Structure 1
Amino acid sequence: MDSFQLPLLAAAVTNLLRLLALAGALASAGVTAAEPDDRQHGDHEHGVGAHGGLIVPLGRDSYHVEPVFESGGILRLYLLGSDETRIQETQRQTLTAYVKPAGGSETVALQFESDPQEGDADDKTSRFKGVIPESLRGKAVDITIPNLRIEKERFRVGFTSAPPPDHAAAMPAALADNESTTLFLTPGGTYTEADIAANGRLTAQQKFKGFQAKHDVNPKPGDRLCPISETKANPLCAWVIGGKTYEFCCPPCVEEFVRTAKEKPDEIKDPEAYVKR
């Protein structure tokens, strides 16, 4: 090493020692190198959407989809913007999806058709509708949509979900006439003689003869809930119990609730407890 290189080497060593000293001081003060934050890439948790479905991100959170399972095997897809509270419209199109039991291998093709919401432009849609094959209803399923077009972009959508059981299958069976008469026209528990009079001294089958139940499994906040099915209640299917008016989705649920009021009165809550929060 010649005399010309010695000053350069000495300067380099001096700078290195200064850097080491600075690093030691920072470590003593509790300062460490910053780790990259994965959330800056859009990798964050997504909650439940306005319709009760789990939010699914598209393309680093450029957009979102909210799949919502309904009774009868209906599956609706709601398109949302990068802000999950904003509705996202796209061109109307037919989507081909593939559905299989969760963890399974055999897939079945499923078509989603445009199902525009009120307020969508004439040639746009913010919602799609498909029907799950009957053999897969009520089961956890894997669903893949290879090609969803939003504006000029194309996205692959995939999610696994366990839809709620078909509501009709979960309904309590209707009582025979004599059982129904005994249930509704004799007091017991919190179900009183005054309640019987307030309900017209009728059974639920008599009072709601011809009633067409609509089981809305996606009630909105503030909607009254059927105490039995927890679907949206119908104000036309109301019954007085304990001097208070309760709303139900169908007559068989009225029967089940009256039975509970008579046999397990401590389980009965005030009507305001049966409201979607």
Structure 2
Amino acid sequence: MPYLVNRQVKIHFQQLGEGPPLVLQHGFSDSISGWYEAGWVKRLGRHFRLIIIDARGHGLSDKPHAPDAYDLSHRVDDVLTVIDTLGLERVHFLGYSMGGWIGLGLAQAAPHRLLSLTLGGIHPYGQDMSPYRRGVAHGMDDWAKLVQQAAEGRIPASTLQRIRANDPQALAAAVARDRPALKGPWNQLRCPCLLFAGTHDPLLPQVERFSHELPEAQLVRIEDADHTQAFFKPARLVPTLLELLQLSKGHV
């Protein structure tokens, strides 16, 4: 399995497919496996060289227990270290929720490394993470139940099993601090941008606000989906993504 080390933290990633490089970064308490399970890999693998990363604290990557290890700059460096190791100058990026937060950090720190930016269920205006802290405080079984309840039971049992397998101390450290507001200037980001969120996601108004700050950004609303469920509906987003990048015509 491919690994690399950034700041003494081992990061696990996978590659598959051929074409323009696309980094996939999952959400909180998920892993690389989520992209396969939800159908993203099947739909995107025929168009892209996929580079799928287990975020620190998740999957097969190392799981530090110190909150300092989860500073956004370290998470961004993990992505940059992966693409640098692969010899890639610029990449497309798709991140969901926490993965989208990492994408925002990447766009802020190294916008010249992006061919495009696709973000789901995230905005740059800061976020109170105390609900997550409370959610993981009593262990992964309780957290899995909360996720299941929030999604009205409409997520696979295998996803819940994967959530339960997480390291609770690592996840607690990952959300020990609130997300600060990130200042762009977003109106100077010069790459194709696509935002998406479920129509029942409480973050949708902020995502809509953010869409107006990005030059010519497209916004896709995933009907009848909350924050968790939107990730499981790639069929609603992928055609728009391919059209945006003109991959449906065989080029970027």
Return the TM-score normalized by structure 2: 0.21
Q: Please give the TM-score of this superposition, normalised by the length of structure 1.
A: 0.20
The structure with more helix, counted as a fraction of residues: 2
State the structure with bigger RCO (CA 8 A, min sep 6), 1 or 2.
2
